[in-house]
Every structure is written in C-alpha cells, then in structure tokens.
Structure 1
Amino acid sequence: MRKIIILIMSLFVLTSTFAKEYPFEEVLFIEDPGAFYIFEEGLFKAIYISLDYEVTEKKYTYTLKKENAYLIADLKSDEENNKLYIFSADAKHLLMYDYNQKKTIICTRRGTHTTEPWIWSGFHYKATSHLTEVLNGKEVIYKAENLSTWDLTKSWVEGVEGFGIGESVSFLNVGDGSRRIYIINGFFSPEKPSLFYDNARVKRLLIHCFDRDKNLVNVEERELNDTGEMQVLEFSKRYDSFQFIIKEVYPGRKYEDTAITGIFCDALDLYE
C-alpha cells in the first residue's frame, strides 16, 4: 500500500510554471474511497484505486469555459472525450458532475479533513408542492426528496401556477446543526444546459431557522445570484432545520417553473 501511495504522489508532482486561472487548479483532491484528481499544467489527471489495490490512471488535456450558467472542463484524450460540470470551484473543495460516468464527484483537498464528504444532504426534505410531468411517455416527479439523492440531474421544482412565489422547501434535522448552507440554483440538465435559463431560478429567499425543538428562532432574507455554480449562505449560529420560501425569481425564458438543483449543509464546520 505504501508503494501505491508513493506512486500516486509521484504522478501528482506540482510545478510552479503553470498560470492558474481558477483556485482549484494545481490542487490535489481526494474522493473517498480511492480516487484522486488534479488540474495541472493543462492536464486533468485522475487515479482510481480498486479494493485489490489496482491503480488506473487517466489523463486528459482540458480547457475551462463558461457555457450557459456553468463552468465546464472540456476533457480530451486519445481514448475518449468527456466534460465535467464544476459547481464548486475553490482551493479546498471540488464538486463536479462527470458527463460520461453520469455521477456526482465530491472531493476534498489533500491534507484537509477527508474521511467524510465536505457537504451532506439533509436527513429529510419536504416541500409545499412539486411539479409532475410526462416526458417521452414516462412520468417525472420533481419532488423535494430529489435533493437528497446526490444526483444533481434531479431537481426540486415547485408545482403551482406561476413562478411559485410563497412556495417552500424545507431541509430538516441537520445532525448536530449547521451554520453554513450550500445551494445550487436553477434546473440542471447535462444534456441540455440551456434549461437553466429556460426555467425560473430563485432570486430572493425568506429563510426560517429552527432549533432542535422545532422552535422558530430566526428569520432572514437572502438573495441568490443567477448562476448554476454553488452558492454559500452563512449564519451566525447552527440551526437544526431550515425552511426556504420563494419571495422573488429570475423569470425563465420559456417556462414559469422555479427550480433548485441542490441544498446541502456543511459537514466540516464542526471542526472549525
């Protein structure tokens, strides 16, 4: 095992000549269990370690671009092309959606807390309404529980006439409480990213904060940016549950349905 770790580190030797455009470049990230990622010197490198300690390495050239509301890494190699939707782009944490693998990647910078994901989904979600529609003969339900699946292609969409002003989604029983909430606004479709702007997005939220005894102890109003990248809501203390009420939206180009891709709490603020 020690030889494998040395091999991995040798493959991720950093240089100082690369001009970083984003803070997550030249940072080694770890996804539990057994996956390592880095954007370095114009290459995206991924190493996967199996339970039998077999090591698989993949290398791609990459370019970063903004497309619709998203930051995308276009990956190219002799074997395949791929793209990563990058939702969280800082030097400590990385949240991505892998287009080819159809999976969400949650990873943390090497040297920080890595035994658990840095974000958690809530123990329970509920909403005042949700949208149901039929696509290609199949019923699709955009329920609040979609937010707990780690599948970013499954959004919550309110289900009333108009833009859903006054509708809400609640994030309940957040373990030991959280003072930091992460939100991914709008509707995410990797096959059709233009659906972000076609549907409505939340502009202003009224947030009800509850303690462990379900008492309403704080009310705040926050404004979200019109972007598909993850946004952070900071609070002065930890709360057990949150209710997010839609007060104002960014109107969709085609539809009046208002969507949220993800709501997560910070899994690491207990260590701060």
Structure 2
Amino acid sequence: MNKAFIIILVSAFLTLVNFHTLKAQNIKTIEAIQEKDTDFFDYEDYEQDKNGTLRPVGDLVFLKGCNWYCGGTVSTIMATSELATQSDNTYTAENTHDFDHNTAWIEGKEDYGIGESITYSIDFSKDQFYEGQLGINKLIIANGYKKSKKAWQANSRIKKLRMYVNNKSYYDILLKDSFEIQTVAIDKLMFPKNTVTEITFEIREVYEGAIYKDTALSLLMFDGVGVH
C-alpha cells in the first residue's frame, strides 16, 4: 500500500477520534442537589388522637397533592435490560415512575450495568388538542434501591448518568450516593406538539454495592412547566 495513502488514512482516523473526543468533552456536566425526603413524601392522611395530637395514617405518598403529573404525562418507559422477577419483586423500568419508593429498576447485566439505559417516551404525535405547552426543568431522583437502608447499601447506586434527548447527548449528571431524594435542575426542555420526544438516561459510573453488583434506581421523575 502506498505510504502516502497510509499517512492520509491515519490522519483521517486521528481527526475522527479527536472530533468525538471534543464532542464528548463539550457535554455539560451538572451535579444533583441534595434534598430531604420530608419535602417529597407525606402520609396519606392524619387523624387526631384523644389528646388532639395529629397522627399519620396510611402509607407514605410521593409527591402528594397537585404536581407536574396533574397535566404532564409519560407514554412509555423502556430499559435495555431488567433484572428478572424474584419472588413477588419486579425490577422493571416502569418502577422508576410509579410514585413508589419501595420498587426499583435494576439493570439485568452480570456486571455493574455500565452502558445500560432507560428511555422515557413523551408522545404527543396523535394528540390533536395538545398545543406544546408542557416541558420539564427538573429531575427528581431516588438513587439506589430505596425500599430499605439495608437494600440500598447492598445494591449498587448510580454515580454518573448521561442524559440524551432524541439520541443526542444532553447532559452528564453526577448523582450523590445518598439514600434521600436528590434533584437535578436542567435547562427547560419543551415537548413540541405532533412529535414523540425520547429522553434516555445511560449508566456511566456507579457506587459499588456492599453485596451486589446490580445497579438500582428507585425513582426518576419530572417537574416542569405547562401544567397550571
């Protein structure tokens, strides 16, 4: 093979590698904000005892009252892998969006799930009454398997997520290794009418669990604009 041609090929390859490296470096990195569970969970109801003291009744409810989901909606949630059902416990992608901190998506790979992802589809392609008013500007996250402190410590948690919008890199998100709720403020992302918007979150790094490599995510939900 002609030496000059080889040099041209190598130069083109290095240019391509440098382009993708620069592209990856240009992804904005944002850090999660530590919040308190008490700001996001409340009991179903309260009742007074004989002394007039209010006592909680029922289970803890996530995002009790009106919130973005009073008008906002997610059509489908899919993951690249899911841990198989064990006893009565499921680990499906939908568990991240069910308002229940006792359930979780757990990826189904044998290692820590690096590269596995979960995709939320917001479908307004057939809604003739939707005018494009809905959008999100915050993620609300319960990292790890939150049903108990023991389960949370045993399983791996996510350290870094890469967020994609319609398959284009959007953010690198650094999550805290925290049992309590954390939030991530993002630039306002609107959902246009007559379209399907796909938001994907890919596991890039993890905090290793004390027992299991399985990486868990209990809640990843949205807050935003256009509901009221």
Residue in 1 that maps onto 2:67: 117
Hey, what's the Cα distance between the residues in 2 that align with 1:231 and 1:174? 27
Residue in 1 that maps onto 2:199: 242
Q: 1:179 aligns with which of 126, 134, 137?
A: 137
Hey, what's the Cα distance between the residues in 1 that align with 2:54 and 2:123? 38
Contact 1:107–1:118 at 8 Å: present in 2 too? no
Q: Size of the alignment, in residue pairs? A: 173
Q: CA deviation at 1:123?
A: 2.7
Residue in 1 that maps onto 2:173: 222
Contact 1:121–1:150 at 8 Å: present in 2 too? no
In the TM superposition, 1:16-95 aligns within 5 A as 46=46, 59-60=54-55
Hey, what's the Cα distance between the residues in 2 that align with 1:247 and 1:222? 9
SS in 1 for 2:58: coil
In the TM superposition, 1:176-215 aligns within 5 A as 176-189=134-147, 192-210=148-166
Residue in 2 that maps onto 1:163: 112
SS in 1 for 2:64: strand
Cα deviation digits, residues 11-35 of structure 1 (max 9, x gap): xxxxxxxxxxx9999x9x999xxx7
Residue in 1 that maps onto 2:24: none
Q: Which has the larger radius of gyration?
A: 2
Contact 2:135–2:225 at 8 Å: present in 1 too? no
SS in 2 for 1:131: coil
Residue in 2 that maps onto 1:154: 103
TM-score, normalised relative to structure 1: 0.54
Counterpart code for 1:178: I
Hey, what's the Cα distance between the residues in 1 that align with 2:123 and 2:106? 22
Residue in 1 that maps onto 2:61: 104
- Determine which structure has the larger strand proportion and give its number: 1
Hey, what's the Cα distance between the residues in 1 that align with 2:101 and 2:90? 14
Hey, what's the Cα distance between the residues in 1 that align with 2:53 and 2:187? 43
Cα deviation digits, residues 129-163 of structure 1 (max 9, x gap): 000143xxx25320102223222211100000110
Hey, what's the Cα distance between the residues in 2 that align with 1:105 and 1:204? 24
CA gap 1:30/1:193 in 2 versus in 1, 3 angstroms: closer
TM-score, normalised relative to structure 2: 0.63
SS in 1 for 2:108: coil
Q: CA deviation at 1:241?
A: 3.1
Could you say which structure has the greater relative contact order, defined with CA pairs below 8 angstroms and 6 or more residues apart? 2
Hey, what's the Cα distance between the residues in 2 that align with 1:105 and 1:147? 12
Q: CA deviation at 1:107?
A: 3.2
SS in 2 for 1:140: coil
Q: 2:216 aligns with which of 259, 264, 267?
A: 259
Structure 2 gap segments, 5+ residues each: 1-34, 125-133, 191-196
Counterpart code for 1:117: N
Q: CA deviation at 1:206?
A: 0.9
Hey, what's the Cα distance between the residues in 2 that align with 1:129 and 1:177? 27
CA gap 1:58/1:131 in 2 versus in 1, 3 angstroms: farther
Contact 1:121–1:147 at 8 Å: present in 2 too? no
SS in 2 for 1:195: helix
Hey, what's the Cα distance between the residues in 1 that align with 2:144 and 2:203? 13
Contact 2:145–2:155 at 8 Å: present in 1 too? yes
Give the % identical residues: 25
CA gap 1:105/1:141 in 2 versus in 1, 3 angstroms: closer
Counterpart code for 2:54: K
Hey, what's the Cα distance between the residues in 2 that align with 1:174 and 1:252? 35
Q: CA deviation at 1:271?
A: 6.6
SS in 1 for 2:114: coil
Q: CA deviation at 1:230?
A: 1.8
